[in-house]
Chains A and B, each alone.
Chain A
Amino acid sequence: MSDSQGPLWEVFVQKKSGQPYVHAGNVHAFDKEMALQNARDVYSRRNEGTAIWVVPSDAITASTPEDMGSFFEPSNDKIFRHPTFYQIPDGIGHM
């Protein structure tokens, strides 16, 4: 995943303190500091976030489309794993 623009880094932006970091996209950069600055310039210059993570893309291990059936479908028929029987209290924010 490397070319003359340097390796790829995945960018995760946190909108507000306490919220999860959400994948925003990726940037090219030759080192950590450059990756962080580029991520800031590409993904947060319109005030989208309050914090950023950058991770080398090749450090991420991903499931493949072939994994889909065995990974995700078995949970479909186990309704007891889904918290649909509970009232979520108002005080709990992001569930």
Chain B
Amino acid sequence: MENQALYNYLIHLADDSVVLAQRLCEWTGHGPFLEEDLALTNISLDVFGRARAILEYAAQLEGKGRTEDHLAFFRNEREYTNVLLAELPNGDYAKTMMRLAFMNAYDFLLYTELSKSTNATLAGIAAKAVKESIYHRRHSFSWIERFGNGTEESMHRLKEAFLDTWSFTGEMFECHAQFAELVKTGVVVDPARLKANWDKDIRDLLQRAGLTAPEGVYMHTGGRKGVHTEHLGHLLAEMQSLPRSLPEATW
């Protein structure tokens, strides 16, 4: 394929969204109360919608007649290249919101840069994602502040949530050699460039919530190469079982 690097880039971009959205939709019907249940489900749908647009473009580039559904439902665990952070189990609401806040802050910065891409299709998809991620970030950030300024119990849970997820945040800023040419031609952005702004945004948030991020923590890695935690397989099994057992099923 002529655009193999771009295809791979789109796949990892979409996989972050597919896996995060699938995690969020696990809360549907189980949210803490009706309005919050709706809010989180809305966010999940936004993220799925973004993934769909990206995968649609990837399938088109691939040119093998596959669709976005094929790419989402018929790739295996080792072919998924999402960051490990996205696949971590939801845990309690503090952990769900902590992971979401980390990813929302990142998505806002990433899609803002991608909306200036020299590739018009990618820029168009990204421009829509920017607006959505501003709202997502506002939602998850306000929960983190509430937990941090709430009760002893909520603070305890927030601290646990932070410890469970922080060491998975480094992977978002890895840049892989296969994308170097795309970075050079302004098609995509080197995620390392987003790190300083993300750090500031998150450290400010943590401070408002009464937490401090430690320096020099070991950061987990592997997702971008398809090497995942034990959790992704279960997530994909649940997500993919229907289309795999009934490949021709339609609504």
Is A6 interfacial (CB-CB < 8 Å)?
Answer: yes
Q: Which residue of B lies closest to A9 (CB)?
A: B35
- Tell whether, in the assembled complex, residue B34 and residue A41 are in contact, meaning their CB atoms are under 8 Å apart: no
A37: chain B residues at CB < 8 Å are 39, 138-139, 142
Given contacts A41-B42, A45-B42, contact A27 B142 (CB under 8 A): no
Of the four ranges (under 10, 10 to 19, 20 to 34, 35 or more), the interface on chain B belongs to 10 to 19
Chain A: residues with Cβ within 8 Å of the partner, total of: 16
Using a Cβ cutoff of 8 Å, how many contacts connect chains A and B?
A: 31
Interface centre among A29, A31, A37 (most CB of B within 10 A): A37
Instruction: Give chain B interface residues in 133-190, CB to chain A under 8 Å.
Output: 135, 138-139, 142, 146
- Return the 5 tightest CB-CB contacts between A and B, nearest first: A38-B35, A5-B33, A41-B39, A27-B35, A41-B38
- Tell whether, in the assembled complex, residue B36 and residue A38 are in contact, meaning their CB atoms are under 8 Å apart: yes
Instruction: Give chain B interface residues in 207-239, CB to chain A under 8 Å.
Output: none
Chain A residues close to B by CB (< 8 Å): 4-6, 27-31, 33-34, 37-38, 40-42, 45
- Tell whether, in the assembled complex, residue A38 and residue B39 are in contact, meaning their CB atoms are under 8 Å apart: yes
Interface centre among A29, A37, A38, A41 (most CB of B within 10 A): A41
Cα–Cα, bound, A45→B40 (Å): 13
Cα–Cα, bound, A34→B141 (Å): 11
Interface centre among B33, B135, B142, B146 (most CB of A within 10 A): B33
Q: How far is the CB of B205 from chain A (nearest CB, A)?
A: 14
A40: chain B residues at CB < 8 Å are 135
- Pick the residue among B38, B39, B142 that contacts A33 (CB under 8 A): B142
Cα–Cα, bound, A66→B161 (Å): 54
Cα–Cα, bound, A29→B38 (Å): 13
Q: Which residue of A lies closest to B43 (CB)?
A: A41
A45: chain B residues at CB < 8 Å are 42
Cα–Cα, bound, A30→B38 (Å): 16
A41: chain B residues at CB < 8 Å are 35, 38-39, 42
Q: How far is the CB of A90 from chain B (nearest CB, A)?
A: 37
A34: chain B residues at CB < 8 Å are 142, 146
- Pick the residue among B35, B138, B142, B146 that contacts A28 (CB under 8 A): B35
Cα–Cα, bound, A6→B139 (Å): 17
Question: 4 new A-B pairs (CB below 8 Å) besides A34-B142, A38-B39, A41-B35?
Answer: A6-B33, A28-B35, A31-B146, A45-B42
Cα–Cα, bound, A27→B33 (Å): 10
- Tell whether, in the assembled complex, residue B34 and residue A5 are in contact, meaning their CB atoms are under 8 Å apart: yes
Q: Which residue of B lies closest to A31 (CB)?
A: B146
Cα–Cα, bound, A6→B35 (Å): 11
A27: chain B residues at CB < 8 Å are 35
Q: How far is the CB of A33 from chain B (nearest CB, A)?
A: 5
Given contacts A37-B138, A37-B139, contact A42 B35 (CB under 8 A): yes
